[in-house]
Amino acid sequence: MLWFLFNNNNMLIKLNNNQVAIPEQKDITRLAIQIDREVQIGVLENSPCYAAEFSQVSEALPDGFAYMSLRKLFFKTGEEVFGIAGRAYQIIHWIRTHQYCGKCGSLMENKAGELARKCPNCGMTSYPRISPAVIVAVVKDEQLLMASNISFPTSFYSVLAGFVEPGETLEACVQREIKEEVGIEVKNITYFGSQPWPFPDSLMIGFTAEYASGEITVNNTELATADWFTRSQLPGNIPNIKTIAGRLIEWFLQGGTHGLYSNNKR
């Protein structure tokens, strides 16, 4: 049994020769951790996995244990382990923020037999929230559109992204976000791949697109700057290849062949 345990936004991990491992039941017993809420979330290497939240243990953690943020964990573990950790965090965050019924205000309960919360008073059922967002590599004449968000460090650039609005198709969201953020039109929007992004509950849906018309006009409420970059002149500080933003940039660097770094590659 493996425990994906969160104290606020940090996960409890084991460290073995600087390698990250997931705590087991014997570790929970040893540390005398009092679990506040738990839910089974899947299986890893034939071991059942549980997501849980707990209050910090009263004493300092013994050697071999530490707290780690999910963002740091992303670069310290493999895709499968991080995928379960991200799922665990999203579910715990959802339970934490759905303690009361949004319809009548009664205390919610876990629903037996499925991943859901149900109100015992009015019967309303709530399921884990997922916030879809598009992320897009826009290409014009062998140049990639990149921008620095106002929340980024000054030298950090990425491709453009934004959340899907109610009633909107993914393609319409791509067009709207690009138009709103940099004032240009795009065409030939093509699906690239997707990546769960548990910060706290996003699903990043990647696309490639071609420039159609317009001049860059930066929306300064979201972006600090934006420009076109050739393959030989990309900014030095860009997303890691483990992220879908990094894979979209690598797709451009490799000549823009569709599907080269897509999650849908067969």
Q: Are residues 236 and 176 in the same domain?
A: yes
Q: Are residues 71 and 48 in the same domain?
A: yes
Q: What is the percent of the chain where pLDDT is above 70?
A: 95
Say how many C-beta atoms besides its own lie within 10 A of residue 198's C-beta: 21
- Of 117, 87, 124, 81, nearest to 99 by C-alpha is 117
Across residues 84-90, what is the average pLDDT?
A: 95
* Domain end (from 75, 97, 119): 97
Q: Are residues 87 and 109 in the same domain?
A: no
Across residues 193-211, what is the average pLDDT?
A: 96
Are 98 and 117 in contact by the 8 Å Cβ rule? The answer is yes
Is 80 exceeded by the pLDDT of residue 27?
yes
Whether residue 260 is contained in a domain is answered as no
Tell me the one-letter amino acid at 207.
F
CA angle 181, 198, 6 (to 5 degrees): 145
Cα→Cα distances 118→68, 80, 110, Å: 32, 30, 6
Strand 2-7 versus strand 10-16 pairing type: antiparallel
Q: How many domains does the chain have?
A: 3
Whether residue 242 is contained in a domain is answered as yes
Q: Which domain holds residue 39?
A: 2-97
Q: Are residues 137 and 238 in the same domain?
A: yes
Tens digit of each residue's pLDDT (9 = 90 or more) over 33-60: 888 888 999 999 899 999 999 876 666 8
Q: Are residues 19 and 110 in the same domain?
A: no
**pTM of structure:** 0.89
Q: Are residues 234 and 140 in the same domain?
A: yes
Q: Are residues 249 and 137 in the same domain?
A: yes
Tell me the one-letter amino acid at 266.
R
Tens digit of each residue's pLDDT (9 = 90 or more) over 109-120: 999 889 999 999
Q: Are residues 91 and 107 in the same domain?
A: no
